[in-house]
Amino acid sequence: MRTIEDMRTFTFPVIIEKDEDGFYAKCPSLQGCSTQGDTYEEALENIKDAIWLVLKDMEESHEEIPVPVATSLPTVQVTI
């Protein structure tokens, strides 16, 4: 059983985009870690679960958990 001393907290940036089917969420720091949801809130909860599953799998496989990648979402103006 894990003790409170064994627990670690990680903060990862996520991207949530609206699409025709609802909302799509991904974690750029963890390759292939993505999910979706009908609402923004559902997508946010789903990506938290997906990140937890990836981290748990990495921990059990004795893989090093990556340092979160800083993510920037600048905007650009384009005239056509």
All structural domains of the chain: 4-60 (3.30.160.250)
pTM score, whole prediction = 0.82
pLDDT in tens, 40-62: 999 999 999 999 999 999 999 99
Q: How far apart are the first and last CA of the chain?
A: 60
Which residue type does 8 have? Answer: R
Mean pLDDT computed over every residue of the chain? 90
**Are the C-beta atoms of residues 49 and 37 closer than 8 Å to each other?**
no
- CB of 33 closer than 8 Å to CB of 66: no
